[in-house]
Amino acid sequence: MAGFAESTAPADVVRRQYLASARGDLAALRATLAEDVEWTEMTGFPLAGTYRTPKGVTAHVMERLAAEWDDWTAHDDAYVVDGEDVVVLARYTAVHKGTGKPLAVRVAHHFTVRGGRIVRFEQFTDTALVRDAMTP
């Protein structure tokens, strides 16, 4: 039986992505993503759009979040798994570097995992709260 680090179970793959993100380990995070990943940040979110390739996702999402926010963290609170689909009920916490305002907002993430890699991601959050934290 494969250990957690090698497991291809969808929830384990997603959990490794959150752990890598929390550590700021972009190489480990990219290792959870399929080469043809489609990563969608919701309309209204500052990084709105769909990004492709592991390097594209980390460059356009994680690296930009790190540049604009202190201590950006996605806290994965609860998992709902249905086959290859994983929905995570989570929270974002951070402090915006430009305004000094804290952020604490609920979020839902929908992942699709195939062959031990994340092939699709979609974010759902209250974008107004994120923008409020960014506005002086």
Q: Give residue-wise pLDDT tens across range 45-75.
A: 999 999 999 999 999 999 999 999 999 999 9
Cα 50 to Cα 47, 55, 63, 95, 118, distances in angstroms: 9, 13, 15, 24, 14
Could you tell me the pLDDT band of residue 2, with boundaries at 50, 70 and 90? low
Query: Which of 56, 58, 7 lies closest to 15, judged by CA?
Result: 7
End-to-end CA separation in angstroms for the chain = 52
Candidate from 1-10, 35-44, 59-68, 109-118 with smallest mean pLDDT: 1-10
Query: Which of 86, 92, 59, 46 lies closest to 73, judged by CA?
Result: 92
- Record the pTM: 0.94
